[in-house]
Structure 1
Amino acid sequence: MSYCCECNGANEPKVIEKTLFNLLATCEKNENLLKAYMLDFFVEKHWDILPQKWTKVLEKLSPEELGHWVLYPELYNSYSDVWPLSLLALRSTVQHLSLERQPLKENWSKPPLGFRQSCPHRDFLFKSKEEPLNKKLFSKHIKPKKFHEIEIMAQMTANCASRLGCEFVIDIGSGLGHLGRILAFHHGLQVCCLEEQRCLTEKAKKIDEQLIRCLKKIENEKKPPVHINKSIHSALNKDELIKILMDAFGLESETKLKFGLVGLHPCGDLGPTLMRLLTNCENAVFLNLVGCCYMKMADQNNGEDIQGYPMSGFVQHHPQNILSYEAREVSCHALEMYCDRLKNGCVDDLKVHCYRAALECILVERMPELKHSGLKSIKHVQEMSFEKYAVEAVEKLKIKLPACDLDTDDVKEKLSRWMRVVIFYSLRLLVAPLVEAVILLDRLLYMDEKGMNAMLIPAFDPRFSPRNHILVALKEKQSSQTCD
């Protein structure tokens, strides 16, 4: 099968390869930031790895100024101090190489890197259905953030299915089935939801039944989604998947099964698994994928035959292609939300990293074997004293810390340095988008290498959904029309 050609210009594979080359070089140059654990801030003396010229300027900033500088670098011109060129160069590099994160809708005047002006109808992804979605009906049991994602993902999925003449959609890692429910009952697609956890599958079926009772009152007779309890692993045989789907949809002939794949924040290697299913299975014709939990992907360090990163041949053969676990973990953090808290002066909320780092120091000094132990997750830390936080946090370890260890002059001195912890964490968040850009562009190049017509779309509000890029890949026959 031949696929739609791509427009020449800034999104050619060679340009993306050059960007990836620069991204990987920048990540390696800033490895000291990307590989640092925040809980080791005091144990490993992270503050000392920063150039003194940087710390001299950064320590003079208020939290509000720091938040503005990380997100809006042009603001540094308003500060009277002379900024180190190396720090300004880093901020400029990040701004230049990061993927666009603001939602891209119908404004195609300057498509960002990774967006392909596909031929011939480049606006098809956001075309709305004539009949508006009954939000009151479909938003039950869903938090506003999740509904924001699902509504957009469902519309784009329905548009891809319509474009390719496809009536079947497979939602992998479907959870409670909210996305599949909108695709089935609102967009009229036949949907199969595959979910590993049986408790979620059973609850999804109950929500379906509740919705069907409501829809009967408005004479909606569309088919409900089919829910199947199934774990999708990286070595899944495509014939096994086809058999599952034919049974789910009651089909007798495989030739009638033409389906799209969707994954809304599948964890770790599940995203790359969906990409391989698309490229290896002839019946699969499109994929809409939003990644998540990049640190859980298998990489070359795991010795796995099937890797989640790197995927493209270009990155696999690049000498600087290593992304540490810590780097991939910080790339999943919420940059915009954190900077908003800085800009709003919510400093009490930001001290949790300092509390955790100070507690780690105490644990390592008394019981080195407990280094990097998982502690109890504590809510409302900003309302607690350090002593109360420490006592509750170690409950999971079933140990009791002496009260005298929690109220020393050394501990008080560390806690007074909380702004240094905030600054260091902000610098890590500053470079974190470079790591995600490497991972997403690696996936995009993989699709290129497999002959797919693929795009990266910043679709969600990053303040609601920090992982907001949808990888759209289509098996689309070459059009006789020319590109715009």
Structure 2
Amino acid sequence: MSCYMAVGPELSSENVKRRIQACENFLSSSTCRRLIRAKMTRSLVDGPIVPDEWMRAFFEGTLEDAQALSRGLVPSWSPLSLREFVKEAKSLAVSRDPVTSSGTCSLPKDMRIGLTMKKEHEVARLSAAVADLAERVNSKKVVDIGSGKGYLGQVLALHHGLDVVALEAQSLHNASSQTRTERLRALKRSRGNGTISSLTRKINTADEINAELQKECKDAVIVALHACGDLTPTAMQLFAKTEASALVLFGCCYHRITSDCFPMGPTLRERSSAIQPMLDGELGCHALEEWSKREPWRLRQHGYRALLEEILEECGVEESVQLGRLKIRYQPTDLFEDYARRVLSRLPDLKTPPSDERLISGSERSQRVVPSSACVYALRLLTAAVIESVIVLDRLEFLQDSVGKENSSVRAIFDPVCSPRNLGLFATKPGRART
């Protein structure tokens, strides 16, 4: 068993501008760029992703070492440069630890019907936070941007007694939401007597804010739960340009952000940014905490795939064969050769399939390749957390410029294992919130 050393504070006290600059500098390094652009399944074919001294250390590691690495714990025998890299990544990433314990919020039984465990967790936590914020700014109204099937709005109205305007582009979602709302009201067990009204509207940019939206947002709390791509920045601009009282946003799908909506804050607008959301944003949609808690056997996939890609290339198979689309299931007891034979059985047209001896030798080699690949992937996850952080901090800087530093913040309220996109933006207009 390895001896581990903890590295990196959860969040330093430096201001947002300096932190954004530090994140950008970190992500601009050659090591980060290789990690960001690497294809893990091609790592044995396309060449090294990380420095040689790191790989030599990883060859001596285990899958447990890889999971520890993703949590910022490095084996004591690791090279100094690796320790420094992990320390910097951890120090730059915004803390994703939830500010409240998982047992503080729950939904009434009727309102849990039809919700996944993830959605129930998110709606319970967020509805409580929104209700608290609405009370602080003395508002009874919520505008739910990208309301989907209306789960959040229903809890806000029927449990917390708030009046909700559900803004959703898909009319089918609005119809489904109305049906469920009527069913919940018919049960006559709701504690709140708030109202829900639906608006079928697509807002691509803040320029599409019309008089009707201006009126709906007046004195309201604007909310968006995992607003996709550009919808989160658009909701922020809606908050800035209307007389809304407060804002609570959780973004997602960073790879769908366009150049019109990133960067938003002045720091990255004034610099040649290293962050290219259309290229790097998908990595920002990571699940670091969930990966770090997986059963170790489930971490073999990158190493097994990389080995098989190498073997298939030796056999003259073109890269166009996309093994991921075969949806091969991994079993806890699988050796590499078991996995490889299962894949090869789905590729009957191979002209020169690998020999049994080559597959057996692959199993022997996998004892080093699998943990080392997992360690490299752990570094990608640490880098991904910095990518997400700089996107969120850029948005925070925009809000600080709009409503003041003391009126805006980033907070995690979801368990990141259950809900990986758990960094929320909270803001109030000056003078609206009670202390």
TM-score normalised by structure 1 residue count: 0.75
User: Is the contact made by 1:334 and 1:466 (CA closer than 8 Å) also made in structure 2?
Assistant: yes
Is 1:93 matched with 2:88?
A: yes
Is 1:471 matched with 2:425?
A: yes
User: 2:190 & 2:403 partners in 1: Cα distance?
Assistant: 43
Is 1:376 matched with 2:378?
A: no
Is 1:317 matched with 2:270?
A: yes
Cross-structure match for 1:351 = 300
Mapping 1:265-414, distance limit 5 Å: 265-282=226-243, 284-299=244-259, 306-307=260-261, 309-323=262-276, 325-341=278-294, 346-357=295-306, 362=312, 366-367=317-318, 370=320, 376=325, 378=327, 380-382=329-331, 385-389=339-343, 401-402=349-350, 404-405=352-353
Instruction: Provide the secondary structure at the position in 1 that maps to 2:331.
Output: helix
Cross-structure match for 1:430 = 382
User: 1:26 & 1:134 partners in 2: Cα distance?
Assistant: 41
Cross-structure match for 2:127 = 154
* Unpaired segments ≥5 residues, structure 2: 1-11, 333-337
Provide, for residues 176-202 of structure 1, a one-character-per-residue CA deviation record: whole Å limited to 9, x for no partner.
211011111011111122223333332
Cross-structure match for 1:233 = 204
Kindly state the Cα deviation for residue 292 of structure 1 after the two structures are TM-superposed. 0.8
Cross-structure match for 1:67 = 67
User: Is the contact made by 1:268 and 1:296 (CA closer than 8 Å) also made in structure 2?
Assistant: yes
User: Is the contact made by 1:269 and 1:296 (CA closer than 8 Å) also made in structure 2?
Assistant: yes
Instruction: Provide the secondary structure at the position in 2 that maps to 1:19.
Output: helix
Cross-structure match for 2:57 = 57
Distance 1:406 1:294, change over 3 A: farther
Q: Which amino acid in the other structure matches residue 252 of structure 2?
A: C
Distance 1:211 1:165, change over 3 A: same
Q: What CA RMSD, in Å, does the superposition of the two structures yield over aligned residues?
A: 3.2
Instruction: Provide the secondary structure at the position in 1 that maps to 2:391.
Output: helix
Q: How many residues align?
A: 408
Cross-structure match for 1:260 = 221
User: 1:469 & 1:286 partners in 2: Cα distance?
Assistant: 17
Kindly state the Cα deviation for residue 350 of structure 1 after the two structures are TM-superposed. 1.8
Distance 1:320 1:255, change over 3 A: closer
Cross-structure match for 1:199 = 172
Cross-structure match for 1:165 = 138
Q: Which amino acid in the other structure matches residue 411 of structure 2?
A: I
User: Is the contact made by 2:203 and 2:209 (CA closer than 8 Å) also made in structure 1?
Assistant: no
User: 1:457 & 1:310 partners in 2: Cα distance?
Assistant: 20
Kindly state the Cα deviation for residue 174 of structure 1 after the two structures are TM-superposed. 1.6
Same amino acid, percent of matched pairs: 27
User: 1:23 & 1:274 partners in 2: Cα distance?
Assistant: 25
Cross-structure match for 1:123 = none
User: Is the contact made by 2:72 and 2:87 (CA closer than 8 Å) also made in structure 1?
Assistant: no
Kindly state the Cα deviation for residue 278 of structure 1 after the two structures are TM-superposed. 0.9
User: Is the contact made by 1:185 and 1:223 (CA closer than 8 Å) also made in structure 2?
Assistant: yes
Mapping 1:96-245, distance limit 5 Å: 96-105=91-100, 134-214=107-187, 216=188, 218=189, 222-239=193-210, 242-243=211-212
User: 1:59 & 1:135 partners in 2: Cα distance?
Assistant: 51
Q: Which amino acid in the other structure matches residue 385 of structure 1?
A: Y
Distance 1:330 1:322, change over 3 A: closer
Is 1:420 matched with 2:393?
A: no
Distance 1:376 1:69, change over 3 A: closer
Q: Which amino acid in the other structure matches residue 203 of structure 1?
A: S
Distance 1:192 1:285, change over 3 A: same
Q: Which amino acid in the other structure matches residue 62 of structure 1?
A: T
Provide, for residues 195-247 of structure 1, a one-character-per-residue CA deviation record: whole Å limited to 9, x for no partner.
23333332222221221111x2x4757244223333221255221xx42x59x
User: Is the contact made by 2:254 and 2:281 (CA closer than 8 Å) also made in structure 1?
Assistant: yes
User: Is the contact made by 1:37 and 1:326 (CA closer than 8 Å) also made in structure 2?
Assistant: no
Distance 1:56 1:356, change over 3 A: closer
Q: Which amino acid in the other structure matches residue 425 of structure 2?
A: L
TM-score normalised by structure 2 residue count: 0.83
Q: Which amino acid in the other structure matches residue 416 of structure 2?
A: P
Kindly state the Cα deviation for residue 96 of structure 1 after the two structures are TM-superposed. 1.7
Distance 1:325 1:136, change over 3 A: same
Provide, for residues 46-83 of structure 1, a one-character-per-residue CA deviation record: whole Å limited to 9, x for no partner.
xx23222211222212111231233142x63xx4x3x3
Q: Which amino acid in the other structure matches residue 264 of structure 2?
A: M
